[in-house]
Amino acid sequence: MTATLTAPPGLTSPLPDSTSALQDSLEVMESMYLYNHWIFANIRPFLGEKILEVGCGTGNITSFLLCYPRVVALEPDLISARKAARRFYNHHNVQVIPETLEDYTQQASNGASFDTVICLNVLEHIEDDVYALCCMREHLAADGKVVILVPALGALYGALDRSLGHYRRYNKRHLRRKFHQADLQIIKSYYMNLPGVLGWFLHSRVLHRVGLAPRSARKFEKAVPYIMAAESAFKPPLGQSLVMVGRAKN
């Protein structure tokens, strides 16, 4: 079952003039298998059988979800949604829907139908992030979980963030407050990718880069297994990304 691809309005639309840099960066991310697998490894313990992915892009993380019985992948950007739909055309457990989270929530006949709602490197693109979290909560089945991964540390916000359409970066206290406002009880919270802090600061705040540089991405990709091994043994006090998991408050 595949939805008709139509251009939706945007709860999850990026900031103005960020579309080109975002598309280019998504292409870079497609080549970063090890990094995408690292993200998946971090969220895998929280995944149930029925998954709603908010902002799947071209399907970089969706590709790790093909063994799950039901995956609904939302992507409001028409170009990315078409790529994802073609990529998973033969996987009948995956449904790519070219809609915003807001539109999907308004049209859904049964909101509480997913064991897990994942939103990975997307919440920072949404202007009203608390409302987005409320929408995610509405789709949770009993004891379901919302799994969020966002860029961390406001001090790193710079040219690269603006070019990618980021409204903000988060710290634990900031995102924890957003969860509470959305009536989500936090069950897990931690930073990841400590070396990425220096790299992002250099490219975004010092060099004022626009978009992810393929050469830098390839270098980082080679380092991922070593960073992943180190951080699996010891969670760093800070990191370039922040993971937070919650469930609906009783």
Please report the pLDDT score of residue 67 as a whole number. 97
Please report the pLDDT score of residue 19 as a whole number. 60
Q: What is the pTM of this model?
A: 0.89
Please report the pLDDT score of residue 107 as a whole number. 84
* Ramachandran quadrant class, 46 (left: phi over 0; alpha: psi -120 to 50; beta: rest): alpha
Please report the pLDDT score of residue 212 as a whole number. 83
Are 10 and 76 a contacting pair, CB within 8 Å?
A: yes
Please report the pLDDT score of residue 97 as a whole number. 96
- Which residue do the tokens 């009948």 mark? 92
Please report the pLDDT score of residue 17 as a whole number. 46
Please report the pLDDT score of residue 110 as a whole number. 52
CA distance 46 to 173: 21
Please report the pLDDT score of residue 4 as a whole number. 32
Please report the pLDDT score of residue 10 as a whole number. 37
CA distance 151 to 40: 16
CATH superfamily of 33-154+167-192+235-248: Vaccinia Virus protein VP39 (3.40.50.150)
Tally the residues of the chain. 250
Please report the pLDDT score of residue 14 as a whole number. 41
Please report the pLDDT score of residue 112 as a whole number. 58
CA distance 85 to 207: 36
Nearest to 50 by CA among 68, 28, 25: 68
CA distance 13 to 22: 11
Q: Which residues pair with 208 in a beta bridge?
A: none
Please report the pLDDT score of residue 25 as a whole number. 79
CA distance 164 to 24: 10
Please report the pLDDT score of residue 2 as a whole number. 39
Please report the pLDDT score of residue 187 as a whole number. 97
pLDDT along the chain (250 residues), means of 10: 36 47 79 96 97 96 97 95 96 96 82 89 96 96 96 96 95 98 97 97 92 88 97 95 95
